[in-house]
Amino acid sequence: MHIDWNDSTYTVYSYTISSLSFYSYVFDWLFYLLILSTSVIYGRFAPPRFHEFSFQDITLMNTYKTEAESAVPLWLLVIIGFGLPLLQFIFCSILGRHTFTLTRRLWDIHSGMLVLTGSLACQLMVTCILKNICGLPRPDLLSRCEPAANAVLEPFTLANVNDCTTDSTELLWEGFRSFPSGHSSTVFCGMVISSLNIAAKLQVFDKRGLSIKVVLAILPLMVACFVSCSRISDNRHFLRDIIGGSIIGSCIGTWFYLQYFPSIFNLENGGRAYPPRRLGVAKFFNNVGGFWKIGDELPGAYNERILNDPKVFPSVSQLGTINRDDTVDMSRNIDFFNSLRKRIPSNFNQSQSSSTPLQHV
């Protein structure tokens, strides 16, 4: 992300914070919450495209069960899909108290909350849109529809929503939101994130083959399978709906996890999140941004492109006169790059393309 705004700092309880970095994470939260709230409103009040159906279709004759009668009602889905993954991030942070600093552990929890909020909001958006666009009937549609007892259609004619006599518009609309399964997409989104984080924290892929670590990493996926399959026994979904929702939730959950956490195969990182993002410096590093450093007692944290680490001094010094304090101290680091922005032309990257690129730091 290429941003030419000047950065600045302010202090909170003796902690120096980059303004651009802080506002970027505030934007993340507001943006994800906006997507979440908009998706809930859209999924609740926007009518679906009503698919035609047959009164003689036995796959649509299942009994309607109320939300209270279902194996996993909505309130329990929220606990499983969001609450349990959040507790998992907190628990893993507590387990790392002897090796990771408090700042690092709190940052990992914050990153985990961002992953969960963003991924669940986006999967809900995708699921609600697909539900309303497809408008496919649920297995209990006829029970919701309550067609007239003497309803007779012409041969080779399908019924539509106008042939239903139910007084509950909400119940009828929900009967045409079968694909994909919202329970499946939600629970797989949260549980896949939990599985990835557990695999990273326990270093499942360290080639030692410890069975307990493998089981713990797979356990969230087993929970997701149980919740998803319960929607079939509750007469809410077909198998196709479960598969579609599971794929959506798994893909979005994996994508969001990798936005805030390195690969689970990076064993030296120990499951730690990326450090706080640095904005406004991509112009000087071939459009690759940087991170602010977080102090860690345990070495091996993901520290590529950290711009206030003494190790990057040789690379940063290529850009101008700088001393070591300018790379370590946040305020002086920001002042240095702000001054560079004034001295180096806007086509700096293009002018560098014909020469040897600067080292990514």
Which pLDDT tens digit goes with each residue over 258-304? 999 999 998 888 889 999 988 878 777 766 778 888 877 777 787 77
Residue 191 lies in a domain: yes
The residue annotated as part of the active site, out of 51, 98, 183, 360, is: 183
User: Catalytic pick from 51, 98, 237, 360?
Assistant: 237
Comparing 203 with 255, the larger pLDDT belongs to: 255
Q: What is the pLDDT of residue 123?
A: 96
**Structural domain contains residue 34:** no
Question: For 193-219, what is the mean pLDDT?
Answer: 90
Mean pLDDT (the chain) is: 86
Please give the span between the terminal C-alpha atoms of the chain, in angstroms, as a whole number. Answer: 15
Looking at the fold, whether 195 and 94 belong to one and the same domain comes out as yes
What integer is the mean pLDDT of 227-245? 95
CB 357 within 8 A of CB 286: yes
State pTM to two decimals.
0.88
Instruction: Tell whether the model's pLDDT for residue 62 goes beyond 90.
Output: yes
Residue 198 and residue 311 share a domain: no
| Contacts of 348 by beta carbon, 8 Å cutoff, 6+ apart | 283, 284
Contact 162, 53 (CB under 8 A): no
Same domain assignment for residues 144 and 205: yes
Structural domain harbouring 230: 47-269
Last-in-domain residue among 207, 241, 269: 269
Does 183 lie in the same domain as 98?
Answer: yes
Q: Which of 123-137, 144-158, 276-290, 325-339 has the highest mean predicted lDDT (pLDDT)? A: 123-137
Q: What is the pLDDT of residues 316-358, one digit of tens each?
A: 766 667 777 777 778 888 888 888 777 765 545 544 444 444 4
Same domain, 138 and 13: no
Distance CA 276, CA 2 (A): 16
Structure-token pair, residue 159: 């019924």
Q: Is residue 31 part of a domain?
A: no
Residues 65 and 193 occupy one common structural domain: yes
Residues 51-60: what's their mean pLDDT? 90
Contact 361, 305 (CB under 8 A): yes
DSSP of 272-327: PPPPPEE-S-GGGTTT--EE-----SSS----TTBTTSGGGHHHHGGGS---HHHH
Q: Is residue 28 part of a domain?
A: no
Q: With a cut of 60, say whether residue 359 has pLDDT above it.
A: no
Higher per-residue pLDDT: 138 or 153:
138
Let me know if residue 30 belongs to a domain.
Answer: no
Domain boundary (239, 269, 299) is at 269
Query: How many separate domains does the chain show?
Result: 2
Handedness of CA 99, 102, 105, 111 (dihedral sign): negative
Query: Does pLDDT of 253 surpass 80?
Result: yes
| 117 plus 256 within the same structural domain | yes
Helix axes 102-134, 239-260, angle to 10 degrees: 150
User: Are residues 79 and 185 located together in one domain of the fold?
Assistant: yes
132: pLDDT strictly greater than 70:
yes
Find the mean pLDDT for residues 46-67: 91
Are 110 and 149 found together in one domain? Answer: yes
- Closest Cα to residue 60, out of 120, 122, 121, 146? 146
Question: Comparing 115 with 336, which gets the higher pLDDT?
Answer: 115
Last residue of a domain, one of 235, 269, 303: 269
Residue whose token pair is 């640095």: 278
- Provide mean pLDDT across the span 193-208: 91
Query: Does 223 map to a domain?
Result: yes
Q: Could you confirm whether 183 is annotated as catalytic? A: yes
d(C-alpha 21, C-alpha 107), whole Å: 13
The model's confidence at residue 3, banded by pLDDT at 50, 70 and 90, is: low
Q: Check residue 287 and give its pLDDT.
A: 66
- In a domain, residue 55? The reply is yes
Same domain for 135 and 218, yes or no, is yes
Whether 237 is catalytic is: yes
Lowest mean pLDDT segment, chosen from 170-174, 200-204, 336-340: 336-340
DSSP 164: B
Domain annotation covers residue 186:
yes
221 and 93 within one domain: yes
Long-range contact set of residues 231-234: C-beta below 8 Å, sequence gap at least 24: 231/70, 231/72, 231/181, 231/183, 231/184, 233/71, 234/65, 234/69, 234/70, 234/71
The reply to whether 236 and 356 lie within a common domain is no
Helix residue ranges per DSSP H, the chain:
19-45, 74-78, 84-95, 102-134, 141-145, 169-174, 182-201, 211-233, 239-260, 313-316, 324-328, 330-343, 348-352
d(CA 300, CA 85): 25
